[in-house]
Amino acid sequence: MKAVIMAGGKGTRLRPLTCAIPKPMVPLLGKPVMAYGIELLMRHGIRDIAVTLQHLPDAIRNHFEDGAAYGVHLHYFEEETPLGTAGSVKNAEAFLDETFVVVSGDALTDFDLEPAIRFHRERGAVATIVLTHVENPLEYGVVITDADGRIRRFLEKPGWGEVFSDKVNTGIYILEPRIFSFYEKNREFDFSKDLFPLLMARGEPLYGYVAEGYWSDIGNLAQYRQAQFDLLDGKVNVTLPGREIAPGVRAEAGAVIEDGATVVGPAFLGRDVRVQRGAVIDGYTVIGSGSILKAGASVKRSILWDRVVVEGGAELRGTTLCSRVHVGKRAALFEGSAVGERAEIGEKATVQAGVKVWPAKRVETGAAVQTSVIWGDCAGRRLFGHYGVCGLANVTITPDVAGRIAQSLGSTLPVGAIVAVSDDGTPFARVIKQAVAAGLHGSGIHTLDLGAVATPAARFAARTLDVSAGVHVRHETAKEQEWIRLLFFDGQGVPYDRGRERKIENAYAQEDFRRVLPAEIGTGREAPGQTAAYVAALVAAVDAAILRQRRFRVCLQYDARLHATVQALTTGLGVEVVSLSPSEPRDTVARVTAASGCDLGAVLVPTGEALVLIREDGRVVEPPQQEALQVISHLAARVGQKIALPVTAPSPLDDLAQRLKGQVVRTQANPGALMRACPDLPFQPLFDAFYTLARLLEFLAVRNVSLAALCGLLPDVEILRVDVDCQWTEKGKVMRRLIEETKGERVELLDGVKVYHEDGWTLVLPDAEEPVVHIVAEASNPARADERIRAYAAKIHRFQER
């Protein structure tokens, strides 16, 4: 049997470790990660191996040569331009004339491939994907198989709402040469994105085999360090270099630990390492060949490559140092930091957690480095949540962080592009907006400052002005904390899709910012009057004449930052307003609405995107009814109108839309997806409180009906919602188990897992920003909805316990 090792990866998320070497050459206990892949194949009797190369190919050729040192025969196939995973393997088509195995040259695994190969042959598969279970499936291809292993659904790098399993593609495939007939040579083609979906669409036998054992794709610095710790702990069934010289301590030939030095396992010392008297190595540390730890140096949970010198008194805690790094006396490097090769950390310098120092850079004596030198790291989970970028005000979202995010955005746009920037009128949001503008200018992007506007007005301005994108900054209060949210729009005022978000995240993670010449620095100018322009367009969109004639009286509670918009809109529509302070409780709004003879009341959220409606009799309109009102007032305005609704919206709304000769588009339950579903709308019905208010008043005036009477005509449906705690690491498993238990039932996987019942449905949806899972249940009565909520909450608790 033959095999292919895909070794063309750049490993951009591992920078600065991979600035000078390709990812397959990154060392694990002093040995390139690709070497472990070769040894895996050799253990299975596979010695004829093709190696696909693209990035820094000579580094791999020069190290492994023809493979004789490993007992195998290596045949190299190099791409001149990137061809994708499947495209690169097709270069070796003439060589691969029988069933073959594909493995990644930059992953660590000890899988037993024999059962997978036997599984593949028994089922007559054209392709078998080797699968494994992971805690966080977001960065992988998620797979659902039937009882026989046939793949039913495949989704590459999903969002949390799309996670339907914790079973993921490991990048190990067993393939028949027939797969080459499905695509052309010298054409970019990917296994996950192109070939596997094509095989599924054509009904070809595509199977998934769940392997037992260890697997890590070593996708980022944290995973890189953890893989080495797992090797030290014996969690990976591979042959480790060196020999055990003390409990948990392995060393290669020539390693010297002087009397008076302390080495506590688990630890690994490469060839000719020298640990001087008084130096301390404390647990989960790897020291590369030829490195020297001088007297008084202290190293813990750190990875050092070859020929690193650590001077006396230096402290290394959870850092990774590439080859030939020099750490000065009494310097300190902390958790998650990384230093590129030949860099120098000056005496008494401090490199804080998460900071990256690029190769050959110098950190001056006594410097305290809190941001990366040249480029940096994106710590934690991904930058974007369910709606833009959100973090604690002046804690996780600071002016310097906002500037780097803006540089990341700017680097995805052409030099000279124009971006609209705006804020919600709060002081710190204004500061963050200024930082965003500065970051964009440094990337060669011009800005239009819209000033302080409500979010719907910011979106509308991006649509009407000649800009490439928009960034709106707002200050929010939730859970007794202050937050900053950055919203990103395209030139039509529509939130960025996941593809564009990923480009920003990648630029931020690598801090691969574009640096322009001084002559190309962007400039800023103001674009005042956007609130007035937005309101004028909104007034023109409704029948303002009939509204002025009707002279509605409305009780409104709203934040001061919305005052200008509320005043302009109500004046334009001839609406008399009874205003209440935002500090008043909601029952006061309801009481005043009924007592003062108002036609309706509304509580506007400070962002201007949502509102809570109150009937003239003082009763609060429940969310399902309010969604129905938004559907009715929007679709009744024009025949054939479209509206996007989330999977959580009541089922009767589809029938309601049909009766109004409109169209409902069901989407994922996040703002971006809903707005992208109807990008041609100048106002977004579910995310524009002012539009909702104007359209509803128009409908009431045209139909000459009260809000209470209209609510009495709406379909009666009960929807309950509850959040259940669920650790990030458990979400994928929970969704997989849920799908396994609902086989045979009517299930929809548009967003989360939606299980249909005779009189409604239950939706289980992982949250994108918090360790919780949302459960939403629709039923014909409250008791039935509550029963379903309780049942599915119990399932989620049970799934996490196993």
Question: Could you list the mean pLDDT of each consecutive 10-residue stretch along the chain, which spans 802 residues?
Answer: 89 84 91 93 93 88 90 90 88 92 92 94 93 74 81 70 72 93 89 89 92 88 92 92 91 92 93 93 93 93 93 94 92 92 88 88 80 48 80 85 94 96 97 97 97 97 95 90 93 92 84 86 96 97 95 96 96 96 91 95 95 96 92 90 90 89 89 90 94 96 94 85 86 87 87 90 86 90 91 90 68
Cβ atoms 321, 305 nearer than 8 A: yes
Task: Give domain status of residue 383, yes or no.
Answer: no
Task: Give domain status of residue 633, yes or no.
Answer: yes
- Kindly state whether residues 50 and 167 are assigned to the same domain: yes
Buried b (16+ CB within 10 A) or exposed e, 248-259: bbbbbeebebee
| Residue 789 in tokens | 């909520």
Find where tokens 């705690």 sit: 725
d(CA 530, CA 449): 10
Put residue 348 in one of left, alpha, beta given phi > 0 → left and psi -120 to 50 → alpha. left
| Residue 778 in tokens | 């629709």
Alpha carbon separation from 692 to 609, 626, 667, 677, 801 (Å, rounded): 9, 10, 20, 18, 44
* 3-class secondary structure, 597: coil
Query: What integer pLDDT is reported at residue 364 of this predicted model?
Result: 81
d(CA 326, CA 314): 11
- Kindly state whether residues 42 and 188 are assigned to the same domain: yes
- Kindly state whether residues 429 and 501 are assigned to the same domain: yes
Task: Give domain status of residue 227, yes or no.
Answer: no
Cβ atoms 611, 556 nearer than 8 A: no
- Kindly state whether residues 11 and 148 are assigned to the same domain: yes
Query: What integer pLDDT is reported at residue 509 of this predicted model?
Result: 72
Sign, Cα dihedral of 147, 148, 153, 155: positive
Q: Which of 734, 723, 724 is nearest to 135 (CA)?
A: 734
Residue 20 burial (CB count, 10 A): 16
The CATH number that applies at residue 307 is 2.160.10.10
Cβ atoms 180, 90 nearer than 8 A: yes
Task: Give domain status of residue 376, yes or no.
Answer: no
d(CA 798, CA 187): 47
| Phi, psi for residue 458 in degrees, rounded to 5 | -65, -45
| Residue 571 in tokens | 């004046």
* 3-class secondary structure, 526: strand
Query: What integer pLDDT is reported at residue 382 of this predicted model?
Result: 66
* 3-class secondary structure, 90: helix
Cβ atoms 475, 394 nearer than 8 A: no
- Kindly state whether residues 424 and 503 are assigned to the same domain: yes
What DSSP letter does each residue of 551-605 carry, written as one string?
Answer: --EEEEE--GGGHHHHHHHHHHHT-EEEEE-TTS-HHHHHHHHHHTT-SEEEEE-
Query: What integer pLDDT is reported at residue 177 of this predicted model?
Result: 94
Domain boundary among 712, 745, 765: 712
- Kindly state whether residues 665 and 795 are assigned to the same domain: no
Strands 274-275 and 292-293: parallel
Domain boundary among 690, 712, 734: 712
- Amino acid letter at 524? G
d(CA 217, CA 197): 22
Task: Give domain status of residue 106, yes or no.
Answer: yes
- Kindly state whether residues 575 and 674 are assigned to the same domain: yes
What DSSP letter does each residue of 128-191 carry, written as one string?
Answer: EEEEEE-S-GGGSEEEEE-TTSBEEEEEES--GGG---SEEEEEEEEE-GGGGGGS-TTS---I
Q: Which positions ≥6 away from 338 have C-beta within 8 Å?
A: 16, 17, 221, 319, 320, 321, 322, 356, 357, 377
How many domains does the chain contain in total?
5
Residue 175 burial (CB count, 10 A): 23
Q: Which positions ≥6 away from 173 have C-beta within 8 Å?
A: 101, 102, 127, 128, 129, 130, 191
- Kindly state whether residues 563 and 585 are assigned to the same domain: yes
The CATH number that applies at residue 753 is 3.30.310.50
d(CA 43, CA 38): 9
| Phi, psi for residue 166 in degrees, rounded to 5 | -105, 10
Q: Which of 633, 626, 677, 680 is nearest to 657 (CA)?
A: 633
Task: Give domain status of residue 678, yes or no.
Answer: yes
- Amino acid letter at 493? G
Cβ atoms 734, 644 nearer than 8 A: no
Rg (CA), the chain: 30
Q: Which positions ≥6 away from 583 have C-beta within 8 Å?
A: none
- Kindly state whether residues 660 and 513 are assigned to the same domain: no
- Kindly state whether residues 129 and 208 are assigned to the same domain: yes
Q: Which of 314, 606, 317 is nearest to 485 (CA)?
A: 606
| Phi, psi for residue 96 in degrees, rounded to 5 | -95, 75
Which DSSP symbol is given to 195? Answer: I
Alpha carbon separation from 184 to 88, 91, 93 (Å, rounded): 11, 10, 11
Q: Which positions ≥6 away from 147 have C-beta within 8 Å?
A: none
* Beta strands per DSSP E along 559-662: 576-580, 600-604, 611-614, 642-646
Length of the chain: 802
Task: Give domain status of residue 236, yes or no.
Answer: no
d(CA 256, CA 289): 11
The CATH number that applies at residue 207 is 3.90.550.10
Cβ atoms 264, 281 nearer than 8 A: yes
Task: Give domain status of residue 656, yes or no.
Answer: yes
- Amino acid letter at 644? A
Return the percent helix, strand and coil in the chain, to nearest 5: 35, 25, 40
Torsion of CA 404, 405, 408, 413, to 10 degrees: -120
Helix (DSSP H) and strand (DSSP E) numbers for the chain: 21, 52
pTM for the full predicted model = 0.62
| Residue 173 in tokens | 């495939």
Greatest C-alpha distance within the chain: 96
Helix runs in 103-172, H state only: 113-122
Show the domain range for 347.
241-369
Q: Which of 690, 649, 687 is nearest to 666 (CA)?
A: 649
* 3-class secondary structure, 444: coil
Q: Which positions ≥6 away from 82 have C-beta within 8 Å?
A: 8, 54, 188
- Kindly state whether residues 70 and 180 are assigned to the same domain: yes
Distance of CA 502 to the CA centre of its chain: 7
Cβ atoms 454, 691 nearer than 8 A: no
Sign, Cα dihedral of 533, 534, 540, 543: negative
Domain boundary among 712, 745, 779: 712
| Residue 708 in tokens | 């209470």
- Kindly state whether residues 697 and 793 are assigned to the same domain: no
The CATH number that applies at residue 550 is 3.40.120.10
d(CA 750, CA 164): 10
* Beta strands per DSSP E along 605-684: 611-614, 642-646, 663-667
| Residue 453 in tokens | 């506007």
